[in-house]
Amino acid sequence: MSLRLERIVRAVVRRPTLVVALFALVALGGGALALGLRPDTGVDTLVSRNSDTFRATEQYRARFGEDAIVVLVREPLPQLVLTSDLGRLLGLEGCLSGNLPRDVRNPPGGLGGPCAKLARGRDRPVQVVYGPGTFVNESVRQIQDQFAAQQSEQAQREKRAMTAARKLAKAQGRSGVERRRLAEQARQLVRAEYFRTTLRLALSYGIRSLPRLNDPDFVSQLVFDPRRGVSVPKARFAYLFPSTRAALVQVRLRPGLSEAARDRTIALVREATRLPEFRLTNGAGRYTVTGAPVVLSALTDEVSSSIVTLLVAALIVMALTLLFVFRSPARRGVRLLPLGIALGAAGILFGAMDLVGASLTMASIAVLPILVGLSVDYAIQFHSRHDEVMRADGLPPERAAPRAAALGGPTIATACLATGAGFLVLLLSPVPMVRGFGLLLVIGVALAFACALTAGFAALALLPRLPAPRFPAPVVGAVRGAGDLLSAAGRSLRSVAPTEGVTHLAGETRALARRARDGALREAVQRPARVLGIAVALSLLGFVLDTQTRVVSDIQKLVPQNQQALRDLDTLQRATGVSGQIDVTVQADDLTEPRVIRWMTAYQADLLKRFGYREERGCGRAQLCPALSLPSLFRDPTQVQDRERIRALLEAVPPYFSQAVITPDRRMATMAFGIRLMPLDRQQQVIDVMRDRLHPPPGVNAHLVGLPVLAAEANAKVSSDWRRLLTVLAGLAAVSLALLAVYRRVDRALVPLIPIALAAGWSALVLFVVRVPLNPMSVTLGALVIAISTEFSVLLAERYRQERIAGHGPAQALERTYRSTGAAVLASGITAIAGFAVLVVSDIRMLRDFGFVTVIDLAASLLGVLVVLPAVLVLAERGELATLPRQAWERVRAVRVPRVRRRRVA
């Protein structure tokens, strides 16, 4: 490996200008392509496409449409449905559905307005709209159509009665006048019977005249329930009229829409609600556009904008950190070279993602700071080796580069391989976006190593040839003037408070760090067993307490609290009692069988009662509420006694309503339940109860589907305690196998792993102490800690081995290791930690907690490896590492616990 790496670097430094130019060109091109990437929040990023829930959800959406955009109409129902506002609401619903009359030449908003855009083309984004205006209008139209059909049928009956009367009179020999009189009497009798039947039906339903949309009496009889109150809507219409002061319009999107098309549709819906033609005037009502698609779209935009801001801040912080912690004998600007290599590697990786058509998920966004940190680390390690060779052998940069690659390249490559193996464990995750996160990290690690090896050494060979930058005389004068002012201010500060000067403080800090390093190394050499014993005890305590660390899954606590979409969702819940919808799909060869309808009705009633819903008080504080479902159509138990009645009722229901609950072939139906906004773990408990009570009859298949089900299941899989522990163990196993494959010796492979295994426990202990909760984004950090800590441990252990082979004693070898490689590891570690620390200032709590947890984990692992690894190396060299557990067990057994004598009570 040394020879191969030396040949590669020798070829690179022959043409450093060409290599650097090609690297810069590819990096800039990749960065330009990466600007087109956008976070993907599709359901296929939460669960596997092969899972039963995902397939059932996709099948449901193909039949009934995507998740609905909800337009909340806040106005007292009497003012909304009993005035002209109902007509305006009907117009809005027609606009949103895209069903504009053909003779309309100037639609609301004009030809370039939202109504025209929603109705344009064959691939309209909206599949169907359900709202109060359409519901009342369809009811009026159905009654009018049925009345017209009955009138036509009545006219035929009258005609037949008159014909029969004429024939009978003619047979009796009556005159023409007499035959006409008898025929008229027969017509009057048939008409009287029709009037009596019609009057009886009208009185039973409270209908006084032929229904019209602007008939307050009819609309009041249709919508309100007098038994519950004058303005209280009927419970079975809760999906339209959830309360006395609110109504809902559901805009179901067409399945298969892209993220961009979905966002455009949401924007058009918002624009339509602002048109003056649809403004509610009688009750000063307002429209609020919300729903799951709106929240996801807003969260995606928020994260995208925040990532750009955080990236710029992270780059500035990491650059300043490199300038202070990375020492190089070259000119001061070379200290930022590792950061330039890291940015180039990141640009190439994300540009390649755009070329292959990969999506940028919420998890893959976190690849950027990790990749930049690792790239900086590799570049710093090669840079440090290059500086050592130049100092020791007195070689020029272009000749020192191949020698540095041969000396440090194999160790860095081994650390890179072990880190990649640790990231491979993420491919075992059940969540697709976590698997994509792990795959990107593996590719990014290899790319970072390749860039540091080629472009990094090419830049080191090229920079000394470049002339020093020359600036115009006015600029130089201004800089010198500013420098004189700062120097004068510094002298004044030191004269006033000498101990508080910046230079003195920096010197004291470096001296304190050297004393701490020397004390830790001395303690590790003199008492290695004690150091390792304390580290093991703290790590075991951390693993035990890790099961008590809370995982936050409440979406309200993970997204920006000032986000308008979240406030609108909370408004929806306060106004209606629900914020989302869980659907249960039912499939059978024939859903019109009475046993199937009876089971669906009983299942729905049982769940609503179990979760606190009562028809007389509405949703209230109930966790589940009824929504538009197939059982809602069968209010009378006599309607489900036989198949003919069921089919007759379904045929009588307008297709506009029936298409929302059952397919035309009668093989798939849905039961819908409104659910409150709650944490995902609590939501999963509700789903578990629903699934446990789901016992369909033989020959019937039923599945829980929808975005709430997918999100809750993904959260349950990611945040389980046993899966987090399994991820840590699998990461250790993968890293150990990678090191064993390289070293072919068990001791060399396992010795660096001991601090790594302990680091996961230390970070868990620190998290428990500071009480930082985990979230669905940060529960995977166990694998990240192992993978990143592997590099620190492998680099230090191999450098110590090289120093021992060179003939130095244990103490001197440790001191030389920490003065060279240790300083580089500390610089790269601090740089990576500083990059993650920028996330702490984010207003997105998910990113903020992720950044804070990562800073804690990396700091604990870095300090732990630096402190504990020397003790492990010394014990391994003495041959005491294998016998240490047995000695510890014997000491525990030797401890005598005093017996407590019990006094006998007389």
- Of 97-106, 373-382, 395-404, 550-559, the range with the lowest mean pLDDT is 550-559
pLDDT tens for residues 1-28? 889 998 999 998 888 899 999 999 999 9
pLDDT of residue 888: 55
C-alpha 159 chain-centroid distance:
69
Q: What is the mean pLDDT of residues 24-33?
A: 90
pLDDT of residue 906: 45
- pLDDT at residue 211 tops 90: no
- Of 213-227, 400-414, 560-574, the range with the lowest mean pLDDT is 560-574
- pLDDT at residue 189 tops 80: yes
Q: What is the mean pLDDT of residues 843-866?
A: 77
pTM of the full structure = 0.74
CA-closest candidate to residue 687, choices 610, 614, 620: 610
Contact 869, 793 (CB under 8 A): yes
- pLDDT averaged over every residue in the chain: 79
Backbone angles phi, psi at 584, to 5 degrees: -120, 115
pLDDT of residue 144: 75
Higher pLDDT, residue 317 or 477: 317
Give the C-alpha separation, 548 to 545, whole Å: 5
* DSSP 3-state of 662: strand
pLDDT of residue 177: 83
- pLDDT at residue 471 tops 50: no
∠ CA 44-50-56, rounded to 5°: 80
DSSP string, 724-779: HHHHHHHHHHHHHHHHHHHH--HHHHHTTHHHHHHHHHHHHHHHHHHTPPB-TTTT
Q: What is the CA radius of gyration of the chain?
A: 38
Q: What is the mean pLDDT of residues 197-204?
A: 66
pLDDT tens for residues 347-360? 899 888 888 887 77
* Max avg pLDDT among 491-500, 658-667, 692-701: 692-701
Structure tokens at 278: 């649809």
CA-closest candidate to residue 627, choices 126, 137, 67: 67
pLDDT of residue 446: 92
Distances (CA, A) of 477 to 104, 474, 488, 490: 72, 5, 16, 20
